[in-house]
Chain A
Amino acid sequence: MSSRFAFLSEAGMDRSSLIKGLQLVQKKEGFISDEAISAVAGHFAMSEAEVEGVVSFYAQFKRNKPGKYQLSVCDGTACHIKGSSLIQEWISMELGIRPGETDTDALFSLETVACLGCCSLAPVMSINGKVFGKLDRKGTIKILKDYRKNG
């Protein structure tokens, strides 16, 4: 196996650690590339199709390279009730991308997720794991502008 994926040994060889292995890949590389699929299949002695089947089942795994900042707009019940679809719409207008897409500078990726566990601050979003709550249009756009300014 190429040394690029040597870290897979952290997950052990057991097939029950396949998901762990994929999570390691995603953590290190940001997404699951075709090369990663074949490396993982080799590591766990499985077929690539089996690995692909598991990857496609779980929403967490991304097959495309994400931007520098991963924007997750919560669309859990509490946030939905509090207008998360509008938040997502405003972000889409500001960045020119829909959920599932990455902007042309590869700076922002947008996705919607179901509940970040901060429902009492709804509507919320997270950027690379940092949670922002009680969003309105002005606040949301300011946050995006700040991130863009910092590159």
Chain B
Amino acid sequence: MLSVRELTKTFGAPPDRLVAVDRVSLDVNDGEFFTMLGPSGCGKTTTLRMIAGLEQATSGSIMFDGQDYTRVPPQRRNIGMVFQSYALFPHLSVFENVAYGLRPRGVAREEIASRTDEVLRALQLDRYRDRLPATLSGGQQQRVSIARALVYRPSMLLLDEPLANLDAKLRVQMREEIRRIQREFGILSLYVTHDQEEAMAISDRLALFNAGRLVQLGRPRDVYRHPASLFAAEFIGRANLLRAKVLDRAAGAAKVMLPGGGMVAVPRVVALGDAETARVPPDADALLMARPESMKLGPIEGRMPGRILRAQDLGGTNRYIIAAEAALGELTVEAARSAPEYGEGASVGLALNAEECVLFIRPDPR
């Protein structure tokens, strides 16, 4: 098990000191696929590099299976790492690239060959054994770099945006493959990405980062359904925000009034952090967050009125971009094919499934 405690990294001297990673703590279990997700520049790579030992932590600790890794040099951590740029050795053949990590481990010559070939086969690379990396496609290079990281049976696998250089279709294909290989090897994996869809699709659990801090940690679906902040709500999936006035509040739940939309009982209430409080407009005291699939379109009577700005056919579903008086910005609603369809410019009534919504309120003034 990997345990990271209060890990901090600062760059530069005081006048323009930058806290790239700010007291991050997390645990990753054996065999788990764990993702660090966040916008670019939020400190994911720096965290990963500290775990790898490529960057020295300013403070905090990194433990693996009860052993303190914080000051262990990278070459003795027994880690596998996959870089965004692949970082394959351009002058070495595929075989030599993959076998690279076996040599410093004093593996006998015959065993180097057999183990390398075994991993090459597992990644369907045996045909390219003697080629130079530059002669391979992006996806193949990526597989070589995974093979190189796995061949010496590391205790964990670190991947820093490994799919960023691939085109969209290959990206989806490769992420499934990475997941398959990870399961096959049963290896604790730490994956970094800024792509929330990718993170949702392959992670057992994910940690959401913002500005150097770990802001939320959990299973993808839990973070999606129960975002702990506006940032989390908006970064993971689409978030529709509606102005709300709180009528009544009891432990963990609230009854709110929506402009032109009547009363709703929301089972989940989250207090906003200081930075996000300003997002609540003056004429409201809370924001109601509804996912696109938690909203329904229907006749106007008795519902919140809205107007269709754009209708997008996504194949399986229809997506509507809607303007509504109650909304902060535009709303996105997804409706099944079977539901009635609306054209652009049409007026519609909006309903929501309050069970699936989250209410963000201003913190109690105290």
Query: Do A and B come from the same complex?
Result: no
Report which B residues bind A (CB closer than 8 A): none
Chain A residues within CB distance 8 Å of chain B: none
